[in-house]
Structure 1
């Protein structure tokens, strides 16, 4: 299959995973939202990347025997016309069959997004709705502006806000019982103090 340029892909309706996977690499990152190709926010900030690394590290320390933990970029192919790239993904090892070389085919057990001013609405409204529709059991939104973690748990076909964690609150998860850390642990592990990055 001949690789298509962004201009050619934008003319397709709907955009499918196959079309997206065969795009010419233009150096940008995209997601597919209900068959529409969407350019992702500008490159993540330093604090975003540092939190992502520390979060993956701390989860691997306690959960790697039970879960496969991967950070972005990784395609989560929820359907042929819905492809997302969460900042962090957890898949239980008894569901390893949903992982392929192209990405994760179906709903992971837990996804996390580290929000920013550019992505806040997308993370809190659009992606929350999408992840619920495709039955992702648990969704975290980590906010670096105030170092909180919002924990959403699936209830039927929608998310309920289970908890908002901050400071030394110990974060727990029914989806991943191995989880046990606090936002302060993440902050203390950052290579550069957050106040230096303002």
Structure 2
């Protein structure tokens, strides 16, 4: 895609009128639309929010992220950043200000969360990417981003089954996962 095409896509994305209940993201130059989240998804996010201390961390939902060097404006399920590192305003949060991004896998987001966003968030140098997967009953913690563009990835991956704690040393939290629900009737996958 040329620079002109990328600017035009970003402009179209920013001016798109989205029906209520639909979430959109710009991921590597493509506009992706999704239906609203499942109840299991929302309850998992609530559990995570309750465990991250509000005094030290902002825990934001519906926050668009500016991934430098990418034609991407993802809207993760949860954005965690140090209260001292927060910009004063703006629609786009610079990825450099973010400590952790969380995505909860849905019936239709498996490939996007495990592959595409993993690469995009690593390219944006987001220190911690946590994938919570109610399809497989597991959490995948990704740290140490490296590389650029499509080749960007996380050097360290840790898989934890629901019920076991997920250590989040950057946040000084051991995330309890025993209350995380699972999605019923969804075909298992083989990622990560």
Q: TM-score, normalised by structure 2?
A: 0.78
Matched, 1:160 2:144: no
Matched, 1:100 2:92: no
Q: Is contact 2:133-2:139 (8 Å) kept?
A: yes
- The alignment covers a number of residue pairs equal to 173
Give the match's secondary structure for 1:83: coil
Q: What is the aligned partner in structure 2 of residue 25 from structure 1?
A: 18
Q: What is the aligned partner in structure 2 of residue 64 from structure 1?
A: 54
Q: What is the aligned partner in structure 2 of residue 173 from structure 1?
A: 168
Q: Is contact 1:114-1:143 (8 Å) kept?
A: yes
Cα distance change on mapping 1:16 and 1:68 into 2, 3 Å: farther
- Say which of 172, 176, 182 aligns to 2:176: 182
Aligned equivalents of 1:161 and 1:142: distance in 2?
Answer: 16
Range with greater deviation from structure 2 (29-38 or 113-122): 29-38
Q: What is the aligned partner in structure 2 of residue 6 from structure 1?
A: none
Aligned equivalents of 2:165 and 2:18: distance in 1?
Answer: 41
Q: What is the aligned partner in structure 2 of residue 141 from structure 1?
A: 131
Q: What is the aligned partner in structure 2 of residue 75 from structure 1?
A: 64
Cα distance change on mapping 1:42 and 1:23 into 2, 3 Å: closer
**Structure 2 gap ranges (5+):** 148-152, 186-192
**Structure showing greater Rg:** 1
CA RMSD of aligned residues (A): 2.4
Give the match's secondary structure for 1:183: coil
Post-superposition, which runs of at least 4 consecutive aligned residues in structure 1 deviate over 3 A?
Answer: 15-19
- Say which of 40, 46, 65 aligns to 1:47: 40
Aligned equivalents of 2:161 and 2:109: distance in 1?
Answer: 20
Q: Is contact 1:76-1:104 (8 Å) kept?
A: yes
Q: Provide, for residues 68-123 of structure 1, a one-character-per-residue CA deviation record: whole Å limited to 9, x for no partner.
A: 1112x2211224731001011101122112x6241412341100100023000000
